[in-house]
Amino acid sequence: MSVGIAIVGSGPAGFYAADALLKLDIDCRIDLIERLPTPFGLIRGGVAPDHQSTKKVIKAYERTAQAEPVRYFGNVHLGRDLSLDELREIYDAVVLAVGAPKDRPLEIPGAETRGIIGSAAFVGWYNGHPDFADLAPDLQAETIAVIGNGNVALDIARLLGKTRAEMASSDITDYAAAAIESSPVKAIHILGRRDAGHAKFTNKELKEMGALSDCAPIVDPRDLEAGVPADLDERSRRRAEKNLATLRGFTELDPGGKTRRVVFDFCARPQAVLGDDKVAALRIERTRIEDGRVVGSGETRDLPCGALITAIGYRGPAIPGAPFDERRGTFVHEDGRVAPGLYAVGWCKRGPTGVIGTNKADGDLAAQQILEDVRVGGKSGREGLEALLAERGVRYIDYPEWKRIEAAEEAAAAPGAPRRKLVTIGDMLALLDEKRASTAPP
């Protein structure tokens, strides 16, 4: 009897788990349950729209989705359409791959001020994630501050600095492209509490900041004097060496007549957001690093800014029925095992670190654990899910329907762009139901 496995979440971690299960010598049926109609998690909704080559990884996921034992159930939200307890009743094993979609909050005075935008929302907005399509961030500001020293902060700053022409081959939403183009922004500040050598930027992404057509990177050479920190492991040391060389190169570039600037502010710890009804400035304390720790100097300055974007990390969603570590923002687990027959993979297991490929090892491990733990099938599995969804009137989307959404997006693309995304679930369902009505027999 085949083993019924539900994987909740169709981002990289969910797909790697499905792929690893397919490679095992077991008779199983794998159902991918996804809250959005569209698959691929942050590959569609997080990875920058001008980094299309990164998104090519979905070709491999596509093969997994179309393998015979696999079914896709899009537009099914665990915790809204059905509970985890119900899912565990139906399936022999359940793998949680729900990511870490919530912004870590900024915990300083003034953090509730209007005009502060979390990166999950901002990135979701420019990428057309249905949760954030109507965010309408106010970018009518000459200075925008981005808090964070990782690649997400770089993505945001780069997109704010790129011209419309530079975005022509991307799949940024039309409304975001228009809002960024019409923004009067002149300075985009990237702020990190630590020194330049501790920044988490990958070098390839950092280098891109020096190659924008109308935006120049600005670095204070004094911020590079400390050199490579002594407390780094080998991998981080190599990254720091490359980044410092790139940042040194930026100090030698002539900003010329470029309209926009990306200013790197290192050793800059946000202390308070200032502004009555809207962000007006960010109070920053100068820091230094002592024994690997950030120490305040007491010296502060106010950076006037009309918008503030935080890129300081993510938390997973708590789901009733699964123990959740509030501090880490992940499920409680032992090497991926959450409870008998319940597993976690990807960002909801490890937290928001690593690249797309880092999630593969989680999938491989979960598949091995399922092989060890779940000897016999016998639960209702896919038929049970379909019956429950039918009983509740949940309109789920299968993989061929997703392919129809994809085809419509590709057909609507502007010249040179890969697609024009549908950004509301309503529009996606309308497209499918229109097609369904037009192909229905008289």
Ligand X SMILES: Cc1cc2nc3c(=O)[nH]c(=O)nc-3n(C[C@H](O)[C@H](O)[C@H](O)COP(=O)(O)OP(=O)(O)OC[C@H]3O[C@@H](n4cnc5c(N)ncnc54)[C@H](O)[C@@H]3O)c2cc1C
Residues in contact with ligand X by CB under 6 A are 8-14, 33-36, 41-42, 46-47, 51, 54, 77-79, 97-99, 101, 123, 152, 155, 317, 346-347, 354-356, 359
Please say which residue, 266 or 314, places its beta carbon nearer to ligand X. 314
CB of residue 59 to ligand X, shortest distance in Å? 15
Q: Which is nearer to ligand X, 77 or 288 (CB)?
A: 77
Least distance to ligand X, CB of residue 14, Å: 5
Closer CB to ligand X, residue 222 or residue 392?
392
Bridge pairing between strands 281-290 and 3-8? unpaired
Least gap, CB of 17 to ligand X (angstroms): 9
> Least CB distance from residue 146 to ligand X, whole Å?
12
Paired tokens of 231 = 């407390």
Minimal distance in Å, beta carbon 9 to ligand X?
3
83 vs 163, beta carbon nearer ligand X = 83
Map 87-113 to HEC letters: HHHHCCEEEECCCCCEECCCCCCCCCC
Q: How many CB atoms lie within 10 A of CB 266?
A: 24
Query: Of the two residues 106 and 272, which places its CB atom closer to ligand X in the complex?
Result: 106
CB-nearer residue toward ligand X: 19 or 285:
19
C-beta closer to ligand X: residue 152 or 370: 152
Is the CB of residue 307 less than 8 Å from the CB of residue 139? yes
Burial of 5 (0-12, 13-18, 19+ CB in 10 A): buried
Q: How far is the CB of 102 from ligand X (least distance, A)?
A: 10
- Please report how close the Cβ of residue 329 comes to ligand X at its closest, in angstroms: 12
Q: Report which DSSP code applies to 413.
A: P
Please provide the DSSP assignment of 351-370 as one string: -S-S-GGGHHHHHHHHHHHH
Identity of the residue, 289 or 311, whose beta carbon is nearer to ligand X in the bound complex: 311
Q: How far is the CB of 16 from ligand X (least distance, A)?
A: 8
Q: Which two tokens mark 402?
A: 């997703």
Asked if residues 3 and 27 have their Cβ atoms less than 8 Å apart, the reply is yes
Residues 6+ apart with CB under 8 A from 25: none
Contact between 344 and 363 (Cβ < 8 Å)? no
Q: What residue type is 335 in one-letter code?
A: D
Sign for the pseudo-dihedral over CA of 83, 88, 91, 97: positive
**Minimal distance, residue 276 CB to ligand X, in Å:** 31
Give least dist CB 226 to ligand X, A: 28
Four-CA torsion 256, 262, 263, 265, nearest 10 degrees: -160
Residue sitting closest to ligand X (CB):
11
Q: DSSP alpha helices (H): ranges in 24-127?
A: 41-45, 58-65, 84-90, 119-126
Q: Residues in the chain, how many?
A: 442
Beta carbons of 222 and 117 less than 8 angstroms apart:
no
Q: Which two tokens stand for residue 260?
A: 């926009």
Looking at the Cβ atoms of 204 and 436, the one nearer to ligand X is: 204
Task: Please choose, from the candidates 368, 343, 361, 342, the residue with its C-alpha nearest in 3D space to the C-alpha of residue 25.
Answer: 368
98 vs 307, beta carbon nearer ligand X: 98
Quickly tell me which residue has 């800014």 as its tokens: 305
